Amino acid sequence: MPGAPSAAPAGRVRPKLILRPRKPLTKRELASVFGRVKKRILKGGEPFGIFAIKHGQGRVFRLISIRDSNFEAQFRVNKALQHMVGIYDGGADLGDVYDDLCHFDRLPVA
């Protein structure tokens, strides 16, 4: 039949996207995340990690204590869905943290 839809050839399966595209923080994300990190560092306390986690079409940034059971789970999550920005504690230098966030997910300059 000339107008009948054809099925995709057998064996041609679309591969899943393994490597997520790089996406540096937007100004809005940077302001939001740095504000929360600043409060946490100035308050002092135990070390925490910052994770960028895919959420629908966008992403969210979570600050998770290293003692939280969810912290270890984030290391086992598919790398296409999340990425660890860094681990910091109350003694972290805010300028270094800001630089880490500004350079997050950018191609390294040679």
pLDDT 10s digit of each residue in the chain, 110 long? 555 555 555 566 655 545 567 789 999 999 999 999 999 999 988 899 998 888 877 888 999 999 988 888 877 776 666 788 899 998 899 999 999 999 988 877 76
- Note the helical H segments in the chain: 27-43, 69-76, 94-102
Q: Which of 79, 76, 75, 77 is nearest to 105 (CA)?
A: 79
Question: Phi and psi of 26, rounded to 5°?
Answer: -80, 165
Cα 40 to Cα 47: distance, rounded to the nearest angstrom: 10
Domain ranges of the chain: 27-102
CA angle 98–77–67, rounded 5-degree value: 65
